[in-house]
Amino acid sequence: MKIIISENQLKKNPKAIKALVDEVGLDVAADMLGMSKLKVILVLGYDISFLGIDDWFTLMVEDNNVYKGCEITVDYFDVGYGVYWVYEEDIDGGKINVISIAKPEFDEGKVFVDNSHSFVEGGIVGFRDFNNGIEYKVEMTNYDIPSHFDSLDAMVKWYNTEYLPDTYEIIKGQATEIIEQLKQTNKI
């Protein structure tokens, strides 16, 4: 069930939203309201001083998780998280999907971009899975990033104007290398 609420209503009635969050949880409430978790948190005025840079980053990814057709997801572990990009490109009547990890290490001031694996669906190949280091080899790369931000707005700007486009270009380049190597070895 979706709840339709205007921006004006939202500002006038945060108690109703808080009650909804208390009843069904933040994830479900955000989905029902058609809002990101980040927006719900900010609208409710929750104390967010305890959130660290990694917490903000994962909320931003969940809020803006598609860039130029790439799906970006956060995978949470017992300790930490991973950020996965899926780059898709048409090839010989099918699609190659390149899965790469691109997690910022804010304490090191770097984003490390490493290809995990790739698979082809459809076309003349059908379905085939390929692994980095076995059927092809692309190197992990990294680039410098800020290790802190003066404000949430500065971090959001960095995410949209630097992290997304810079990471996309690296992953697109990896995909080109992978396709070339797989074609040279007649795997696709």
pLDDT in tens, 60-99: 998 899 999 999 999 999 988 999 999 999 988 889 999 9
Using CB atoms within 10 A of its CB, is residue 152 exposed (0-12), middle (13-18) or buried (19+)? Answer: middle
Q: Residue 27 above 90 pLDDT?
A: no
Q: Which pLDDT does position 57 carry in this prediction?
A: 94
Q: How is the chain split into domains, by residue range?
A: 1-49, 51-184
Give the pLDDT of residue 26: 84
Share of the chain above pLDDT 90, in %: 54
Q: Provide the whole-model pTM.
A: 0.81
* Dist. CA 184–CA 86, nearest whole Å: 23
Task: Pick the more confident residue, 172 or 21.
Answer: 172
**Rounded to 5, what percent of the chain is helix, strand, coil?**
40, 30, 30
* Distance (Å, whole) CA 105 – CA 111: 6
pLDDT at residue 6 in the model: 65
pLDDT, tens digit, 9 for 90 and up, residues 132-157: 989 999 999 999 999 999 888 889 89
Confidence bin at 4 (pLDDT 50/70/90): low
Q: Are 164 and 67 in contact (CB under 8 A)?
A: yes
Q: What's the Cα-to-Cα distance from 168 to each of 10, 70, 71, 87, rounded to whole Å?
A: 35, 8, 11, 8
Higher pLDDT, 163 or 38: 163
- Does 8 score more than 80 pLDDT? no
